[in-house]
Amino acid sequence: MTSYNKISILATYDYIILGAGASGLMLAYRMSQDTFFDDKSILILDQTKDKGNDRTWCYWDNGVGEWDALLTKTWDTIFFGSESFSKTISISPFRYKMIESKTFYKSLWKSINLKSNFRFVEDTVHDFTELEKGVQIITENGVYFGAKVFNSLPKPEVYNSQEKYPVLQQHFVGWFVKTNVNTFDDSKATFMDFTVPQLGNTRFMYVLPIDKKTALFEYTLFSKDLLQYSDYEKAIASYLNENNISEYEIIEKEQGNIPMTAFNFQKLNSKHILNIGTAGGWTKASTGYTFKNTSKKTQQIVDFLKKKDDLSQVNNSAKYRFYDLIFLDVLANHNDEGAALFSSMFKSTDTITLFKFLDEESTLYEDLKVILSVPPKRFIQSLFKRFF
C-alpha cells in the first residue's frame, strides 16, 4: 500500500486528462489542433502510453469522415440475421467503417507530441479530489493539481450499486481468422446474426471480413452476467464450423466488456471535473457503440471550453437517455427476447432512420417510427413502470 505522506512530486496544470484511451487521447488531440490551447499546460496521465492494438472500433458515417485516412476497412452493405427476419441491406449513403486502435493511437500521438505544452506521465491514479479552485490528483508517484480535470477512468461501482437504472453488459470475445483460400465475402459486414443459440440471453455473432481471406468473428452478448472465456471461444468455433470454415489460423484475439446503462452520469460532473468516455456515459446505452459519440462529444467539449468555465454545465440529451432507458428496461427484463426485439426494429424501420436515431440526430417523427417498431406490449410495460 502506498504511503501518501511520502509523496513529494507536485506539479500544476491548466488541464489534466486521466486516461489515454480513445476519449482521453481524442480530447487531447483536439486540444492540440486548436490554437486556443497553445498557451495552456496539459497533462495526460495513464499507466501505459503504448496500448498497441487493444481495440477495434466500428461506426457508420455519411460520406467522407474525419478519420477516413485511418480506416482499415469500409462496407456499404450489412447483413442482419435471425430466425424470424434475415436481410442483406444496403446502407447507402452511409458506410460502415472500421478502425484498429494501433493506427488510431499512433496517428493522434504523432500530432500531440508536436506540442511542447503537452506532457505525458506514465503513472497510476489512486484518487482525485475537487478543491475550491481545481482538482488534486494523487498518483503512485506524486501529487498533481489541475484547474480542470477530464476523467476517463471508469468506476463501475457507481452504477452497479444503484437499482433505479438497469445495468447490462455488452461482452464479447473476437477471433481474427485467416484462411489459405478465398473464403469471405468482404463486400458486406454481418451486423448481427442471431441464429446462434440464445440460451436465455441476447446473443449474436458479429463478422467483419477485412479481405477474402481475413475476418473478425466476434461472439457478443447483451446480458447481466459474463461467461467463462472458453464459452465464447466454443461459440466462435461452432459458428465457423457451421459455416464450413474448417481450415483457418487465429492470428489475433480481442476481448471486451462494455457497460450498457442509462444511469445519469451527468450528475457526477462538477465545476472542475468532467467525466468522459465510458466513465461519462458516452457509450450508447442501447447498443454499446462509443467511438462516433466520443468523436462528437470531444469536439463539443473543446468548443465549450472556449466559452464557458463550469464543467457541470456540459449537457447530454435527456430525450435520448430516456429512450435508451425504456429500451434497456425491455432488454433487461426480457433478455431472452433480444433477438425478436432487434429483428422487429430492423424489419419495421429503414436502416437510415435507425442509424440517425442511434446517432441521436433523428426528428420526432423518426423517433416515433423506431419506438413503435418495438413490440408494443414490452414498450408499454416499461413506459408504465417509469411513469408510475
CATH number of the domain enclosing 177: 3.30.70
Same domain, 196 and 323: no
In which residue ranges of the chain is pLDDT below 70?
1-10, 377-378, 384, 387-388
CB 140 within 8 A of CB 124: yes
| The predicted structure's pLDDT at residue 200 | 94
Same domain, 38 and 173: no
| The predicted structure's pLDDT at residue 1 | 37
Same domain, 256 and 269: no
Instruction: Tell me how far apart the alpha carbons of residues 135 and 269 are, in angstroms, rounded to a whole number.
Output: 12
Same domain, 171 and 310: no
Same domain, 181 and 243: yes
Same domain, 45 and 30: yes
* Tally of domains in the chain: 3
Same domain, 224 and 301: no
Same domain, 282 and 376: no
| The predicted structure's pLDDT at residue 323 | 84
Q: Classify strands 87-90 and 125-131 as parallel, antiparallel or unpaired.
A: unpaired
DSSP state of 277: G
| CATH number of the domain bearing residue 115 | 3.50.50.60
What confidence tens digit (pLDDT) does each residue in 12-52 have? Answer: 999 999 999 999 999 999 999 999 999 999 999 999 998 88
Q: What cell was used for 323?
A: 429512450
Residue 380 lies in a domain: yes
Q: What is the pTM of this model?
A: 0.90
Between the alpha carbon of residue 112 and those of residues 18, 307, 329, 364, the distances in Å are 15, 23, 41, 40
Q: Can you tell me which residue has the cell 425478436?
A: 340
Residue 277 lies in a domain: yes
Residue 76 lies in a domain: no
Same domain, 143 and 272: yes
Radius of gyration for the chain, computed over Cα atoms and rounded to the nearest angstrom: 22
Q: Can you tell me which residue has the cell 472542475?
A: 272
Residue 376 lies in a domain: yes
- Mark which of 316, 332, 347 sits at the end of a domain: 316
Same domain, 31 and 122: yes
- Mark which of 260, 280, 303 sits at the end of a domain: 260
Q: What cell was used for 246?
A: 474448417
- Mark which of 260, 286, 303 sits at the end of a domain: 260
Instruction: Tell me how far apart the alpha carbons of residues 270 and 54 are, in angstroms, rounded to a whole number.
Output: 31
Same domain, 152 and 210: no
Give strand pairing partners of 97.
59, 74
Instruction: Tell me how far apart the alpha carbons of residues 20 and 27 are, in angstroms, rounded to a whole number.
Output: 9
Q: What cell was used for 128?
A: 482525485
Same domain, 237 and 273: no
- 3-class state of residue 195 by DSSP: coil
For residue 197, give its domain range: 167-260
| The predicted structure's pLDDT at residue 371 | 81
